[in-house]
Amino acid sequence: IVSPYLDEFPELANKISAILKKADTNKDTATTQGILLGLGQSNTLRAIEIIKPYLEHNDPSLKATAALALGPINKPEVMPLLISKVNDGNAQVKQALATAFGMQGTQEALAQLRRLIKDRNPFVVQAAANGFANVPGAPIMELNPLLSDSRWQVKLTAAQILGPSLLPGHPELVPTFIRLADSDPHILVRSAATLGLAGVNQPEAIRVVQKNMQRPDWILRRSATLTAGRIDSPALVPSLAFVLNNDSHYLVRSAALISSANKINQSPQIVEEVKLLLNDRYWQVRQSAVEALGLSNNPRTIELLIPRLKDYSWQVRYSTNTSLGNRVNDYPTLKSSVSL
């Protein structure tokens, strides 16, 4: 609360410094970290002066916190302090620096992130890649080589960054994402790459998505099922219907319903599959079924939804009320059933 006024009221800085000193003496790391991060929201020169000594602290967690605290402060004094710690031998500190550089968002910060992307520690590289992506106007395609890195953590982060926002506009990446989605040894990389194929309406991409919808690992099946809803291809409708009827994991069935909602008007026959899940044992699945049917133009879906107003789950009742409420103008008789 008081940190934004440190430059105007120097006595506040003295009091905060005293509290920090006491917390440090008592080895109260949590209090010290909380105060440092709070100071980082002040954007004042005095906050920088208070934070600065902690960059040299013998506790790496406090050095890392100091770096994170400096990240949001938009003052020219910050970058030299952060750069001075780039060669720190502690991975936690370098991860924090990468995040701080991303928050600084300048070309100078971008240059430091390029250095950290070459670090041996995969978690430092992850943080640096995410920081890089946060810099406005950053040339994100520079992260492309990370998709072929030997470390799964690095490939995962690269796929998460490049896939959702860039893949539809960069067809040269499609073969790499298909390869990762189909055969990468790590399940999380395959899952992220599969999500990245959203919007890629190509036969080979569809083949891999359909294949992953049948994999043993439910995380991968869920990712593939969500992706199926974002590819405009009728070939995926039978695959979604199969998942709706047969998948054993409720989160995968719920994902299939989310994807079916995107196709329910283009493929009206899918209503027959969705309606069966209005009685699923899991409320998350019933809620997704309600929301999918709520998007249908088929008047028959109204009679399917009305019983869900008495569902024992308040989440399902709320979604049902919202779905039916959106259709009151077309069906005035609903006014007696829903809460507006």
Give the pLDDT confidence score for residue 297 in this predicted structure: 82
pLDDT value for 9: 67
Contact 90, 84 (CB under 8 A): no
Residue 229 in tokens: 């809803």
Mention every residue, 6+ apart, whose C-beta is less than 8 A from residue 124: 91, 94, 95, 98, 116
What pLDDT, on a 0 to 100 scale, did the predictor assign at position 166?
A: 65
Instruction: List CB contacts of 151: < 8 A, sequence separation 6 or more.
Output: 122, 125
Per-residue confidence in pLDDT tens, the chain, 340 aa? 456 666 666 777 788 888 889 998 899 999 999 989 999 988 888 889 999 999 999 999 999 999 999 999 999 999 999 999 999 999 999 999 999 999 999 999 999 999 999 999 999 999 999 999 999 999 999 999 999 999 999 999 999 999 976 666 788 899 999 999 999 999 999 999 999 999 999 999 999 999 999 999 999 999 999 999 999 999 999 999 999 999 999 999 999 999 998 888 888 888 889 999 999 999 999 999 999 999 888 888 888 999 999 999 999 999 999 998 888 777 777 766 766 5
